[in-house]
Structure 1
């Protein structure tokens, strides 16, 4: 089962790419992922096409990687991915990776180092589940659900950390924990922790790591932004674009950049720069391609571009005319053909927090130097302060009242990932909800009497509830008497019966 599109797909944008394809197939496509594969040092565009039921390969090279017969008129179904819901797709110069809803990672390549045997190779094993992937030119980062970062691939310039040799067969633990986001450029890597700390490693010849020196960093180093009071230190997204520059989007809409700027990649005029603010604000999203020297941004109503376009070098951001409706359509205006940006692993975050007290409160969470209670789950620890937990939660107020001690340790039956997300929510006001933790979080919210968490879970379910997910959520809705869902369930049930009747009689 493929994933639904995150943007409106305009098939007409790809009419040159799909002109030889059976046109009856195209209306069923809900997601298009263009992949640039290097052959004889030249990029060639291939495609993964997703319908609601399956994933297909289209292009001579991608079919060769997967032992499929290439046919210009017919995309080839990837049977290995049948019944898998794909939540993220990313690619490097000679490989493509996908992340499934159940946290597994698959990789295909024509590079013999990856040992894929002309099919999708399962990277994760039974004990590892991941929530995000990021591909560099020749390396891969994997963010495990417990917040630990692993890496694979080429390591000649330290892009997977350490002095180890390149590792294509096994994952290398980078040693970074409590991470919420990862990003890769051509050869450089980034991670963002739950405490809003940004770490970078790899080559830094043009300052693309955001560090003061120009040397290769084989260990993750903390990126220190200038003392600018206007920066909201809560970062929203990093795009480590191309080989030599990086962009940082903050929650307040500010965009910062560093690294190579010969083609105007940073949107800073003619300057080569260390970390600097780009003269455009109130942005919601940014996109860059690893092989194009152009950047795109969206502010909620308009699209902007800068860098090396089909017209000329745009050294400063320019608002695009014509009202493009997606990043794919925006790319048509500045490049010779439409490009897509893979599928992004959507991490739904709910909640809010008082920004004045946020920095002081977050220091009380999982702090080795400041804790008096330790939660133990599967031999993993989460550290916190009883005093704060008592003030933030009635449940913990009762638990830690009186002379409670138990050696200042709490053992719980919930999974580490779910409990970590909940304790973090009590400190930061925000919680990340996904398909893997929703069942446990609903149970936890009910057990602990946490009305806010139950409200966030209900919002997640309501937004995700459709004919396909109804069998999964129906037991939860009934068990916990989520009355606000009944009306939507009735509507879906009615539509399902009508659809079934039409199939039966017509």
Structure 2
């Protein structure tokens, strides 16, 4: 977020090994960082230390919005809402899936269609895609360099499982993930307010999380949060240090920064704590953004992560999407499982009718 005052209305950020992308709410894409292989998509191989606008080719992408971006080791891939993949950057091991080993510095279409999700690694030279039913991989694998996409056998359950299948080592750290950035309609950020955040020259309270601290001003926090107004008028009134035990440093830092800068980045790793914090701190704005993030990221693969949150926090706005996913993606697999093994039908019927049996109190 080093360029937060340079770029406005940022919705999504993606970080590779040494290069970065951001998308604004207008669909504009900016890139900066290392560009030795053309991984910034700017038509050359010159490094950039400030964000530069990425231009699209004159084709059918003009009216199509970006769905996701992954920035790998030295390559980058864009996923559009129409399921098309476009990429640029290093291709020495086939990580762009274009059938050759030539680098690209301009956006180039990758020959694979109907993609729903993508992933690559900051530390390995391969790419992954998921079309809703199967996983595909290309680039450097333990089986050699795959210059074009190949469907993976064995029905891996996630990108981590898919990457473990093609790597020499099962270590799958470094898979890129998106951070969706939410900005308030009425930005809070001004230079005077920003100076109140984590400033050693101007604070009157320390939030202590483990062995780390975040500095803030009570008066400002009370003015922007009903929760802080209550706590600093009560249990925390005389405290110079407040210990936070329920949330990680990264989560609490992101929340306090949001109150000063007016925007927050949300990803899968942070969503569970953020939605709990939004509930406990009665922050309706943050709760709205958490619900929006879950809705946008909810599908068959992420349902095990988000279903407990939907149930626990009674997020009824997501019931309709859960129903569609169940009907369109989950039930067909249940049907296939029953057809492959008749005994599964007995187990399913037993479960189904037990669920429908009325509760009879003792």
| TM-score using structure 1 length | 0.39
Match of 1:369 in 2: 201
Structure 1, unaligned stretches of length 5 or more? 19-24, 38-45, 87-99, 101-105, 109-117, 125-129, 131-342
Q: Does 1:17 align with 2:99?
A: yes
Would the alpha carbon gap of residues 454 and 389 (structure 1) be closer, same or farther in structure 2, given more than 3 Å must change? same
Would the alpha carbon gap of residues 356 and 404 (structure 1) be closer, same or farther in structure 2, given more than 3 Å must change? closer
Contact 1:9 1:32 in 2 (8 A): no
Structure 2, unaligned stretches of length 5 or more? 1-69, 71-76, 89-95, 101-110, 341-362
Match of 1:178 in 2: none
Q: Measure the CA separation in 2 of the matches of 1:443 and 1:356.
A: 23
Find 2:279's aligned residue among 429, 446, 461. Answer: 446
Match of 1:436 in 2: 269
Find 2:182's aligned residue among 350, 355, 359. Answer: 350
Match of 2:129 in 1: 50
Q: Measure the CA separation in 1 of the matches of 2:254 and 2:129.
A: 31
Q: Measure the CA separation in 2 of the matches of 1:449 and 1:32.
A: 35
Q: Measure the CA separation in 2 of the matches of 1:55 and 1:502.
A: 24
After superposition, residues 229-378 of structure 1 pair within 5 angstroms as 345-352=177-184, 354=186, 358-378=190-210
Larger relative contact order, structure 1 or 2 (CA cutoff 8 Å, min sep 6): 2
Q: Does 1:85 align with 2:167?
A: no
Match of 1:200 in 2: none
Would the alpha carbon gap of residues 468 and 362 (structure 1) be closer, same or farther in structure 2, given more than 3 Å must change? same
Find 2:211's aligned residue among 379, 397, 402. Answer: 379
Find 2:299's aligned residue among 430, 443, 466. Answer: 466
Contact 2:119 2:159 in 1 (8 A): no
Match of 1:457 in 2: 290
- Give the 3-state SS of the residue equivalent to 1:436 in structure 2: helix
Contact 1:56 1:78 in 2 (8 A): no
Q: What's the offset of the Cα at 1:397?
A: 0.2
Would the alpha carbon gap of residues 492 and 74 (structure 1) be closer, same or farther in structure 2, given more than 3 Å must change? closer
Contact 1:374 1:384 in 2 (8 A): yes
Contact 1:9 1:31 in 2 (8 A): no
Deviations 1:191-244 (A, max 9, x none): xxxxxxxxxxxxxxxxxxxxxxxxxxxxxxxxxxxxxxxxxxxxxxxxxxxxxx
- Give the 3-state SS of the residue equivalent to 1:381 in structure 2: strand
Q: What's the offset of the Cα at 1:120?
A: 5.3
Contact 1:48 1:57 in 2 (8 A): yes
Q: What's the offset of the Cα at 1:485?
A: 1.1
Larger fraction in helix: 2
Deviations 1:15-48 (A, max 9, x none): 9727xxxxxx95686659799x9xxxxxxxx863
Contact 2:128 2:137 in 1 (8 A): yes
Q: What's the offset of the Cα at 1:85?
A: 3.3
User: How many residues matched?
Assistant: 235
Q: Measure the CA separation in 2 of the matches of 1:410 and 1:34.
A: 38
Would the alpha carbon gap of residues 367 and 85 (structure 1) be closer, same or farther in structure 2, given more than 3 Å must change? farther
Q: What's the offset of the Cα at 1:474?
A: 1.2
Match of 2:259 in 1: 426
| TM-score using structure 2 length | 0.53
